[in-house]
Amino acid sequence: MKIFICENADEIARLCAQKVINLIKRKEDAILGLATGSSPQKTYQQIIELSKQNNISFKNIKTFNLDEYVDYKKEKDSYEFFMKENLFLELDINLKNTNFPNKQNINNYDDLIKEAGGIDLQILGIGTNGHIAFNEPGTSFGSNTHIVNLTEQTIKDNSRFFTTIDDVPKQAYTMGLSSIYKAKEIILIATGKNKKKAIETLIKENKDISCPASILKDHPNVTLFLDYDCAPI
């Protein structure tokens, strides 16, 4: 794993967005793996700005999101809505080329990714308990896309995006750890003191299912983008 310790979230966003833009300049039909949450939000803003400045088209880009809630109450609570608001509607991407795991495709989401050619660049955040996508501690490293029961910790952490904690769905569809590991390149973004413990475990401890992100430790092309607050220095 390569580790970049950056001054702040803005610097992380600039570097990560540039990586995405460089990939698309090389490969106009690249396959992107995307995450929701606050960690990639600034990167998405930068991607929008850079693509406008450099006239970069997303019309041949395909995306596969990591996860989606099951039975969300309002459309605005869905990860699909988040992606439209934070990225897709600002780009010339064809919404038909954007994919989310759901009830219909859950058993062939990994095949859809494979048929598209595999993910060229996967963007990840990390949960305070070391989860990636919605793969909670204890998930098998061999897991494919599946449905999960969210832990109390994750429901609590994610409640900030909802009106009340009772609105947070209790289950989600998520790419598995094996699905994520297949990406050709992975960038993980983490900022803030509340991620420090998860990042410390990821960097310093051995690969173990108690920290799902530790599957990344032996991936050939992973970069962690950290700010000073969560870097174990």
Residue 37 interacts with ligand GLP (CB under 6 A)?
Answer: yes
Dig out the tokens for 229 from the structure.
């607050």
How many residues touch ligand GLP (CB under 6 A)?
A: 14
**Sole binder of ligand GLP in the list 158, 179, 201, 214 (CB under 6 A):** 158
Residue 78 interacts with ligand GLP (CB under 6 A)?
Answer: no
Residue 125 interacts with ligand GLP (CB under 6 A)?
Answer: yes
CB of 147 to ligand GLP, least distance (A): 13
CA dist 100 and 233 (Å) reads 36
Residue 32 interacts with ligand GLP (CB under 6 A)?
Answer: no
Residue 39 interacts with ligand GLP (CB under 6 A)?
Answer: yes
Active-site choice (65, 86, 97, 129): 129
Torsion over CA of 177, 179, 185 and 188, rounded to 10 degrees? -40
Residue closer to ligand GLP (CB basis): 60 or 144: 144
The CB density around residue 164, as the number of other CB atoms within 10 Å, is 7
**Sole binder of ligand GLP in the list 62, 67, 82, 187 (CB under 6 A):** 67
Contact 67, 158 (CB under 8 A): no
Residue 202 interacts with ligand GLP (CB under 6 A)?
Answer: no
67 is catalytic: yes
85 is catalytic: no
Residue 133 interacts with ligand GLP (CB under 6 A)?
Answer: yes
For the four alpha carbons of 61, 64, 65 and 68, in that order, the dihedral sign comes to positive
Residue nearest to ligand GLP (CB): 125
Residue 101 interacts with ligand GLP (CB under 6 A)?
Answer: no
Residues that bind ligand GLP (CB under 6 A): 35-39, 66-67, 125-127, 133-134, 154, 158
Catalytic residues: 67, 129, 131, 136
